[in-house]
Amino acid sequence: MFKVWIDAGHGGKDPGAVAYGLQEKDVALKVSLGIKERMEAAYENVQVLLSRSTDVFLELRERTSKANAAGADLLVSIHCNAGGGKGGFESFRYTSASQNSIKLQDVLHKAVMAKLGGTDRGQKAQNLHMVRESKMPAVLTENLFVDVAADADRLKQASVIDAIIEGHVQGIVAYLGLKSKAKEVKTMTQERDINVPSMWAETTWKEVTEKGFFDGTRPGALVTREELGAVVSRLLKYVDQIG
């Protein structure tokens, strides 16, 4: 069972970046919850653990300590950006990142950009706590700018949040090589009363019964070769009579 640690940045008394009616902490939590729900519902052999599932404040050291103690196989910290400019998406690994962290960043970054589109600010390395203190491959993503009007408008759209969620899911799935859960195929069957003729066959059934080809019982039952033989015999006699 793979353990994926998703860290929703900020929370509680720390709203993160704030602009245009958006708070970074809210976007980060919505995306994190979406990743957990989607991955566990659709993929085998994976458990998604969260730094927070509600609007609470956690120190940075609490977040990485919990992830390390859980023995997570990877960590992704979810954020939104601020600082103006042209906006867009970017990701971060530690300045002395492991090869696995570099691979995770590359796969995850490309998957998010494929779903989200827009300005690609690149894959970067920085001395950030969440990627430095994590004992597993770790990446921090900055998902658009809350203080860039065009990005803020996008972050208010459900379809854009869905794209961010799906991009993260697909990146993690590709990195871990997860398999989709087998879809249960349900065969739809319609029960019917074999003693009642179908509406489309009522007139015909009445006619062939009155002529003696059938005895009038069990109109919805399957016919055996023997019963079919009896019907043919009656039909031949009927033809002789009217001939």
Q: What is the CATH number of the domain that holds 121?
A: 3.40.630.40
Residue 194 falls within a domain, yes or no? no
| Distance of alpha carbon 69 from the chain centroid | 28
On the question of pLDDT at 67 being above 80, the answer is: yes
Backbone angles phi, psi at 198, to 5 degrees: -65, 155
pLDDT attached to residue 192: 66
- Residue 142 appears among annotated catalytic residues: yes
Nearest in space to 37 (alpha carbons), one of 168, 175, 139: 168
On the question of pLDDT at 84 being above 90, the answer is: no
State whether 208 and 105 are in the same domain.
Answer: no
pLDDT attached to residue 2: 98
**SS3 label, residue 47:** strand
State whether 92 and 203 are in the same domain.
Answer: no
Residue 189 falls within a domain, yes or no? no
Domain count, the chain: 2
Residue 6 falls within a domain, yes or no? yes
> Which of residues 141, 176, 211 is at a domain's end?
176
State whether 153 and 95 are in the same domain.
Answer: yes
State whether 170 and 209 are in the same domain.
Answer: no
Q: Where are the beta strands (DSSP E) in 22-172?
A: 22-23, 46-50, 74-81, 89-93, 120-125, 138-145
Residue 189: which pLDDT band, with cuts at 50, 70 and 90?
A: low
pLDDT attached to residue 104: 98
pLDDT attached to residue 211: 80
Residue 182 falls within a domain, yes or no? no
Average pLDDT over residues 9-26: 98
Domain with 209, as residue range(s), is 199-242
**SS3 label, residue 71:** coil
State whether 134 and 166 are in the same domain.
Answer: yes
CA atoms of 95 and 128, how far apart (whole Å): 9
If one compares 18 and 192, the residue with the highest pLDDT of the two is 18
Average of per-residue pLDDT values in the chain: 91
pLDDT attached to residue 153: 98
State whether 171 and 204 are in the same domain.
Answer: no
On the question of pLDDT at 140 being above 60, the answer is: yes
CB atoms under 10 Å from CB of 134, counted, come to 25
Give the global pTM: 0.76
State whether 165 and 217 are in the same domain.
Answer: no
Residue 193: which pLDDT band, with cuts at 50, 70 and 90?
A: confident
State whether 130 and 49 are in the same domain.
Answer: yes
Average pLDDT over residues 56-77: 98
**SS3 label, residue 146:** coil
CB atoms under 10 Å from CB of 67, counted, come to 26
> Which of residues 144, 176, 208 is at a domain's end?
176
- Which of 24, 90, 142, 166 is flagged as catalytic? 142
CA atoms of 155 and 175, how far apart (whole Å): 26
